[in-house]
A and B are shown apart, each in its own frame.
Chain A
């Protein structure tokens, strides 16, 4: 139910993001989802890739600070209200969302919401009980 995510520290200077994506593509690693959190002073890149171990190794060799963590991927129909229903369920159960990002599947029918929770196990239980579809790591990687 949990999906591996890697996070990379980005200094606030141009070309860093490009250096990461180049290192990954040079090593035939595919990016499935990506988001950048930006502040005035630094950025954090979050990535879901098809080979987490290899990506971690490659980026460390390139001198980046890399952290690993788990996120939860939720699949909803790509139409109005898809996201708000999920958020309502979480809010109801007082589950705190650290951050989230989303992308639309190739077919265009579904959207995938990536959530980072303090307590992922509790969140999984709540979401499943509400009948919300959670994707496995395998499923996300093969999108």
Chain B
């Protein structure tokens, strides 16, 4: 079902007229109300009146996470706090968090795009939505919550953690939709198996998974283990939270970006140059309608490509492919670019390999080494040494074929790799320490 037929199926020419109108308004608001933005634009020699067409967007300077941090906490808000009804913050791995603010209308916008997103995943009134995204400063929980309520679904605001209790509630309340990170969904599946709960006897129908990159093979794994259709959702707190783009259940290929609110570009992460449609690069967003905390050309660090071809579902918004990785997760090992999702793809492609892995990167002398820890499941285990050696050799060869770099495979005992209750930790890079 399409939640907002009028906007989601808008012909491209009409969409562009709407976008340019909103873009001009955005640039004015930001320029005249926010000093750091004004200084940045002045330094680049750009005035609001220079923005006449969508192509002029490229003239505007990028916004980065560092810029947000420099203006911590509220320095980039365009409105005084008495008009801001909510703040969220993303956990920074180092230093201060990134703070975002919402006006009453921003909260409405968010609920709208999130309702659209859930509808993309076939969620509707009558569904019981098990919302295992964290509630709190993180945008996941509340963002999904408001969207599901807007849609008229029944929300269980369970948040993350206490997995056994979650499973009991799923059984007793008849949850039909699971919202969580993909790694937490696997944790749930594994806990179910330990508890002797048969996933196929639950009412779960659809899982809407996001907030971390995951591979196609991981999708198959989750679908098989939980007996549901796994749909990808994308969002980040700086842009609004979850609901920036969403895969439709009809195609299960690429996430429709709600372009009347969020305008995407793909750039070369090294040069900042805008890449032609369909090429892979860093995703950049401009928020067209947000009031309290709008962003111009925000660099997400996520790597993907856009799909312009029309979609079977009827939506006219462009799609973005599954996130391949992040510019800051990308490991450069002996000069080769490696994304954890590539390793994941190989592992998930081997029958019996558990979807839990850890990549450890070290530097020995001037040489980078990569170790991949893989858990030995019962299915993989053999009482003969040669069979296990064959297995680790096979994983090593397939990873080498894909990324061109040799890594050491370490087989570890089951459940020794830490399980995720939110975002999974996939990499330990000891080179920076």
> A residues engaging B (CB < 8 A)?
5, 7, 9-11, 16, 37, 39, 41-42, 44, 46, 63-67, 69, 98-99, 116
Candidates B381, B411, B416; contact of A41 at CB < 8 Å: B411
User: B412 within 8 Å of A by Cβ?
Assistant: yes
Candidates A5, A11, A44, A66; contact of B385 at CB < 8 Å: A44
**Could you say which residues of chain A place their CB within 8 Å of the CB of B411?**
9, 11, 41-42
Candidates A11, A39, A98, A99; contact of B412 at CB < 8 Å: A11
Closest 10 CB pairs of A and B: A7-B383, A11-B413, A65-B381, A67-B381, A9-B376, A65-B376, A37-B385, A42-B411, A11-B412, A65-B414
Chosen A-B contacts, 22 in total, with CB atoms closer than 8 Å, are A7-B382, A9-B381, A9-B411, A11-B411, A11-B416, A16-B413, A39-B385, A41-B411, A42-B376, A42-B388, A42-B411, A44-B382, A44-B383, A63-B414, A63-B415, A64-B413, A65-B376, A66-B381, A67-B378, A67-B383, A98-B384, A99-B384
Q: Give the Cβ gap from A12 to chain B, nearest Cβ, in Å.
A: 8
User: B389 within 8 Å of A by Cβ?
Assistant: yes
Indicate with 1 or 0, residue by residue over B384-417, a CB within 8 angstroms of chain A CB atoms: 1100110010000000000000000011111110
- Indicate if the CB atoms of B385 and A9 lie closer than 8 Å: no
- Indicate if the CB atoms of A9 and B413 lie closer than 8 Å: yes
Given the complex of chains A and B, what is the CA–CA distance between A96 and B389 in angstroms? 19
- Indicate if the CB atoms of A46 and B415 lie closer than 8 Å: no
**Could you say which residues of chain A place their CB within 8 Å of the CB of B378?**
65-67
**Could you say which residues of chain B place their CB within 8 Å of the CB of A5?**
383
Given the complex of chains A and B, what is the CA–CA distance between A63 and B416 in angstroms? 9
Q: Give the Cβ gap from B274 to chain A, nearest Cβ, in Å.
A: 47
Of A10, A41, A116, most B-chain CB atoms within 10 Å: A41
Give me 9 other A-B pairs in contact (C-beta within 8 A), A63-B413, A64-B413, A98-B384 excluded: A5-B383, A9-B411, A39-B389, A41-B392, A42-B376, A46-B383, A65-B378, A99-B385, A116-B384
Given the complex of chains A and B, what is the CA–CA distance between A41 and B410 in angstroms? 7
Main secondary structure of the interface of B (DSSP, over half): loop
Given the complex of chains A and B, what is the CA–CA distance between A142 and B416 in angstroms? 36
> B residues engaging A (CB < 8 A)?
376-378, 381-385, 388-389, 392, 410-416
Given the complex of chains A and B, what is the CA–CA distance between A64 and B384 in angstroms? 16
Given the complex of chains A and B, what is the CA–CA distance between A46 and B381 in angstroms? 13
Q: Give the Cβ gap from A10 to chain B, nearest Cβ, in Å.
A: 8
**Could you say which residues of chain B place their CB within 8 Å of the CB of A63?**
413-415
- Indicate if the CB atoms of A69 and B414 lie closer than 8 Å: no
Given the complex of chains A and B, what is the CA–CA distance between A64 and B375 in angstroms? 11
Given the complex of chains A and B, what is the CA–CA distance between A63 and B194 in angstroms? 11
**Could you say which residues of chain B place their CB within 8 Å of the CB of A41?**
392, 410-411
Measured CB to CB, the nearest residue on chain B to A67 is B381
Q: Give the Cβ gap from A3 to chain B, nearest Cβ, in Å.
A: 13
Measured CB to CB, the nearest residue on chain A to B382 is A67
Measured CB to CB, the nearest residue on chain A to B409 is A41
**Could you say which residues of chain B place their CB within 8 Å of the CB of A7?**
381-383
Given the complex of chains A and B, what is the CA–CA distance between A64 and B377 in angstroms? 9
Of A7, A39, A42, A69, most B-chain CB atoms within 10 Å: A42
**Could you say which residues of chain B place their CB within 8 Å of the CB of A11?**
411-413, 416
Measured CB to CB, the nearest residue on chain A to B385 is A37
Q: Give the Cβ gap from A98 to chain B, nearest Cβ, in Å.
A: 6
Q: Give the Cβ gap from B373 to chain A, nearest Cβ, in Å.
A: 10
Q: Give the Cβ gap from A89 to chain B, nearest Cβ, in Å.
A: 22
Of B376, B377, B392, B415, most A-chain CB atoms within 10 Å: B376
**Could you say which residues of chain A place their CB within 8 Å of the CB of B381?**
7, 9, 65-67
**Could you say which residues of chain A place their CB within 8 Å of the CB of B376?**
9, 42, 65
Measured CB to CB, the nearest residue on chain A to B378 is A65
Q: Give the Cβ gap from B415 to chain A, nearest Cβ, in Å.
A: 5
**Could you say which residues of chain A place their CB within 8 Å of the CB of B410?**
41-42
**Could you say which residues of chain B place their CB within 8 Å of the CB of A44?**
382-385, 388
Measured CB to CB, the nearest residue on chain A to B389 is A39
**Could you say which residues of chain B place their CB within 8 Å of the CB of A37?**
385
Given the complex of chains A and B, what is the CA–CA distance between A123 and B382 in angstroms? 21
Measured CB to CB, the nearest residue on chain B to A12 is B410
**Could you say which residues of chain B place their CB within 8 Å of the CB of A66?**
378, 381
Given the complex of chains A and B, what is the CA–CA distance between A105 and B413 in angstroms? 33
Of A11, A39, A116, most B-chain CB atoms within 10 Å: A11
Q: Give the Cβ gap from A13 to chain B, nearest Cβ, in Å.
A: 9
- Indicate if the CB atoms of A65 and B377 lie closer than 8 Å: yes
Measured CB to CB, the nearest residue on chain A to B380 is A65
Q: Give the Cβ gap from A36 to chain B, nearest Cβ, in Å.
A: 11
**Could you say which residues of chain A place their CB within 8 Å of the CB of B377?**
65
Q: Give the Cβ gap from A142 to chain B, nearest Cβ, in Å.
A: 23
With A41-B411, A65-B376 known to touch, is A116 a contact of B383 (CB < 8 Å)?
yes
Given the complex of chains A and B, what is the CA–CA distance between A24 and B13 in angstroms? 73
Measured CB to CB, the nearest residue on chain A to B388 is A42
Q: Give the Cβ gap from A60 to chain B, nearest Cβ, in Å.
A: 8
